[in-house]
Structures are given as C-alpha cells and as structure tokens.
Structure 1
C-alpha cells in the first residue's frame, strides 16, 4: 500500500460512520443515526455547528461480496492510544481520523493531518470486518469538519464532485440542494491517503 498527500483543495473519498457511533453534540453524546439537520455537533475548529445534511446507505451481503473494499474498519477501544476511542469504533475504510503522529507531521509539514482508517490496518486493535449487512451514516456541515466520534476526532462527510457521485440518486439531489457550490468544500486538514 502506498501513501500520498491529498491537498486541502482536492476532491475526497466517501466517509461514513456506522450506527451506534456516539457523536458529541450540544446536548451530549448521541448515536450518529439519530442526528438530524439543525442539531449542533462539536467541531474541532468552529465549536458547535449545525448538521446540514444526514444520509444513510445500507449494503447487503451481495454488495459487500461484490466490493469487499467497502467492508468497514474496526478500531478497538484504546487502539489509538490514551484510551481512545472510548468504545469500539467502526467506520468506512476511507473514513479519516485526526493524527498528530510525528511521521504524518513529517509528510505534511503540519501539526495535524487526517489519515484513512484503512491506512491504520495492521496496527494492534485495528482490523477489517466483513459483516453480512451494514449501514453507513453520513453527516455533513457547512464546512468539512473534524468531529468527536467515540471521543476521538475524525472527519465529517466531505462534499465534493467525486463524493456526490457515490450517493444514491435521491441523496445526490438533497446534497445538491443543500450545497449548491459545484467545486465542493475545502478539506479541514491535509490528508494522508493510501492507494491499495
């Protein structure tokens, strides 16, 4: 697997949480699937921001068998150090986690970067799982944000030309209505991405 740096202005991959993931909001931690537009979520850069769009995509066994690269990554409780995440966290393979690791600082020249969950595979407590069925949940804000999921900083859904095409057609319409800017959002941080 090779590593490359994605500048903040480039399009991004589809990133999603799975149901049950606790997201920190103005009123405490709530399962991601219960969040709706207007609810305020804690962001690293802008304090509490309202959810603008939430979506869900469910995949059946045949979908996952046809595209095993869609199978999620399990990050076990404490696998990221300092007892983080607080509970097991399951995210899409291209979902990005905030990193301050020295090797990522050296690559990006910045104190913080975002790294794909699949790039963490092989580290203790981080594995790919193959469920028979799963749903992915998306949360989008006015800006690409870094939010607390299981008390660990990770990214929100990134609105961009490439990501919009991966959504179901009714979701594409919703996203285009909520985010009419064709060039999409600037990434919250430089990304350390992987090419399988």
Structure 2
C-alpha cells in the first residue's frame, strides 16, 4: 500500500499543500522524525512538529542554521501494517551512550544516526559515520515500534546536509540528493525548486555530512560495539 497523502509546509508557513506520492514511490527513502521528537534550536529543544521555516536549528558543523523547507506525512496503522519499510524504529533511551538519546527516539527506518567511536575509526578511517536506524536493529534496545498506531513523520531541509540534535542524539537532516528529491514527489519537489531555483536544471552534487557505510558494514559496526560493550557515541 502506498502513502495516501503528504502534508507540505510551504515557504509561507500559513499555507499547506496536500499531494499524493507517484505510484512507483513508497517514500521509504525519506529520513523522518516522529511527532514529539525534540530538536535543539536557538530557543532550546522544540518538538519537530512546531518547527517553522526560517527557525534556526543548532547543527554540529555549522552552528545555527535556518530551516529552508519542512514536510510531514501521516501514516495510518493499516498502512504501516502492510509496508514494513515504513514502520518506525524506536531507539530507547541510553542505547547509544549514557543518556543518549535522553528519551526514546522514534524515526523512520532510513533515518541516519551519528556513530562516533574508536571502532568506527578502525573500520572506516573516520571516527564519525552516519548509520541508518534500521541497521541498528541488531542492538538491544533498538526495535521496530509495532506498538505505535498512526504515526506522523516530519522532515526538514537546510542549505546543506547537517547533523542536528534530536532527543539528545546526533542525527541527520534531509539529505538533498536526487533520490530524496524523487521520493518526496512532484509537488514537494516543485516547492523545493521554488526555494532553490538553481537546482531545477542542474542539481548540484551534495556532500554528505559524514560517510554512509554500506548496510552490511553498518550492521557489523553496531554489533562490534555491542559485543565489546562500547558506546556508539563516545565524546572522548
């Protein structure tokens, strides 16, 4: 079953646009936060559903950055029941490190989480990598949130791919690559092109905030941390 409708917050945040995904797109590639996720902003943690275009969000690499575009989609329990690729992932409090996240974090399966550790350094030559939430299902305390009924997913876009703090954990913003723009559907894509007109005819190559390990390597990374009793996010 496909998602029936998506709500997009336009540049004028008093307007809303409803659109339907094209038949060949499931939307499973979009990175999303569930309603209630707290995002660190210049005014402190704010629920993701209360963010507004132009609001400054704290990012790991570039300090305060303004939100350029916001989108959300509501999925019913029936839709989630028949499409496991859309089922939310719950990362329980303290799974990544002590008090990280600082409360349960619920995201879409493809949403990438920052892993920062010596194990990542040894495996990838980089201390910090971004791993999809679904690849962390091998960990105790990370699970498909089957107990959730309907869910509303939210995503937001900056000028660049950024790392933000959500429920005390480091996670990614929407990565504005070709697959992500394809997945949001034609109307949302047109809205994004209205904000970034230069992308319409010549979509630039976007640099990811951190490396994206292959799926099997990401699962191996998670397992190594669990087997060695090491946190996935180490500040030292």
Paired with 1:21 and 1:29, the residues of 2 have a C-alpha distance of 9
What is aligned with 2:60? 44
Deviation of the 1:133 alpha carbon? 1.6
Q: Which has the higher strand share?
A: 1
127, 130, 133: which one pairs with 1:114? 130
What is aligned with 2:193? 176
Where does structure 2 lack aligned partners over 5 or more consecutive residues?
Answer: 1-28, 220-236
The root-mean-square deviation of aligned C-alpha atoms, in Å, is 1.7
What is aligned with 1:167? 184
Paired with 2:214 and 2:165, the residues of 1 have a C-alpha distance of 20
**What pairs up with 1:15-164 in 2 under 5 angstroms?**
15-130=31-146, 131-164=148-181
The answer on 1:187 being equivalent to 2:234 is no
Normalising by structure 2, report the TM-score: 0.73
Paired with 1:69 and 1:31, the residues of 2 have a C-alpha distance of 24
Where does structure 1 lack aligned partners over 5 or more consecutive residues?
Answer: 1-12
Residues 161 and 183 in structure 1, CA contact (< 8 A), matched pair in contact too: no
Larger Rg: 2
Residues 159 and 184 in structure 1, CA contact (< 8 A), matched pair in contact too: no
Deviation of the 1:103 alpha carbon? 3.4
Deviation of the 1:193 alpha carbon? 3.9
Q: Deviations over 1:123-153 (max 9, x none)?
A: 1211011333211100110000000001111
Deviation of the 1:105 alpha carbon? 2.3
Paired with 2:214 and 2:193, the residues of 1 have a C-alpha distance of 26
Q: Which has the higher helix share?
A: 2
Q: How many residues align?
A: 184
